[in-house]
């Protein structure tokens, strides 16, 4: 009798694991307009659009990024204990600089180092001192640093946790399954500022939905007329990283900024220029 029950439980566990794996895989396969709570996030990745956007009608634009920080002050969500971990990355400028370098396959922007400006100046000063010490006052001077005509500022301005949640479950004869989901949202905003006038030329932003889903399967059986119980559970969780959401939203904001700049005639797309000629 025990062997029969054990075999049945094992079969149910395997079926539950297979079901869990199938649901986890389907999270990535559902279409963006699917009303299901396990649908793909609202804002799709902008990596391909960042690469395929037409280049500028002219040389790359020199641009400086001083910081792109977390302005939300939000802490990582936790239903049980208070946590000091930040909800989003504190190094958002890394994604912004990378997005600027990748825009239009590297044709749009020439990014100058400003995040580590203090270190850069110290290193240049060290080189000058070394040259003057060993080569004298007639030592070869350093090449002048590049300066930017525009600044890119902004940050991660919003992190809304648990903006949507829900679940469903059922059990029959001690065998059941349940599913839960939760959605969070991260928002970034960037603005393009003229160094010469201080005017905000373009302001752009984007939001990215973060999806979390969990599937649980459980089996509970009583043996020996209720004197002993056996309970087996299996489950899986899918949590989309908030760092990925920040990167995707930042890339989307850069694409939006380029398009707004073209509309305001701050620059032109190379393809538009060719058509006019």
pLDDT: is 160 or 11 the higher one? 160
Phi-psi label, residue 225: left if phi above 0, alpha if psi -120 to 50, beta otherwise: left
Q: What is the pLDDT of residues 82-131, one digit of tens each?
A: 566 676 778 888 999 999 999 998 999 999 999 999 999 999 999 998 88
Contact call for residues 109 and 100 (beta carbons, < 8 A): yes
Domain 2-276 has CATH 3.30.70.2740: no
Do residues 85 and 75 lie in contact, with contact meaning Cβ atoms separated by under 8 Å? yes
Between 185 and 214, whose confidence is greater? 185
The reported pLDDT for the residue numbered 237 is 61
Contacts 24+ apart (CB under 8 A), 74-81: 74/159, 74/161, 77/161, 77/162, 77/184
Tell me the three state secondary structure of residue 192. Answer: strand
pLDDT above 70 covers what percent of the chain? Answer: 59
Euclidean distance between the first and the last CA atom of the chain, given in angstroms as a whole number: 86
CB atoms within 10 A of CB 135: 10
pLDDT of residue 13: 45
What tens digit of pLDDT does each residue of 241-256 get?
Answer: 677 888 888 899 999 9
Mean predicted lDDT score pLDDT of the chain: 74
Residue 12, pLDDT score? 45
Structure tokens at 188: 């970034």
Annotated domain spans of the chain: 2-276
- Please give the pLDDT value at position 157: 86
What would the mean pLDDT of 161-184 be, rounded to a whole number? 65
Per the model's pLDDT, the better-predicted residue between 111 and 161 turns out to be: 111
pLDDT digits over 197-232, tens only? 999 999 998 888 877 667 777 766 666 655 566 666
pLDDT category, 21, cuts 50, 70, 90? very low
């Amino acid at each position: 009798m025990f062997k029969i029950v054990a075999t049945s439980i094992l079969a149910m566990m395997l079926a539950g694991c297979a079901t869990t794996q199938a649901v986890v895989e389907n999270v990535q396969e559902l279409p963006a307009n699917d009303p299901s709570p396990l649908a793909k996030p609202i804002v799709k990745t902008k990596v391909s659009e960042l690469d395929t956007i037409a280049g500028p009608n002219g040389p790359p634009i020199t641009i400086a990024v001083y910081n792109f920080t977390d302005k939300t002050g939000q802490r990582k969500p936790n239903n049980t204990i208070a946590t000091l971990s930040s909800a989003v990355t504190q190094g958002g400028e890394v994604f912004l600089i990378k997005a600027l370098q990748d825009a239009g396959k590297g044709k749009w922007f020439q990014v100058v180092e400003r995040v580590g400006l203090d270190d850069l100046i110290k290193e240049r000063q060290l080189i000058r001192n070394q040259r003057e010490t060993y080569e004298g006052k007639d030592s070869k001077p350093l090449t002048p640093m590049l300066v930017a005509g525009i600044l890119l500022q902004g940050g991660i301005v919003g992190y809304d946790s648990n903006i949507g949640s829900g679940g469903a479950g059922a059990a029959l004869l001690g065998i059941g399954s349940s599913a839960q989901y939760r959605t969070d949202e991260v928002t970034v905003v960037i603005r393009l500022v003229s160094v010469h006038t201080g005017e905000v030329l373009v302001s752009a932003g984007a939001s990215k939905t973060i999806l979390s889903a969990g599937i649980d399967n459980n089996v509970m059986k009583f043996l020996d007329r209720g004197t002993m119980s056996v309970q087996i559970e299996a489950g899986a969780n899918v949590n989309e990283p908030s760092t990925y959401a920040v990167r995707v939203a930042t890339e989307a904001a850069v694409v939006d900024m380029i398009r707004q700049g073209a509309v305001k005639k701050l620059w032109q797309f190379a393809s538009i220029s060719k058509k006019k000629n």
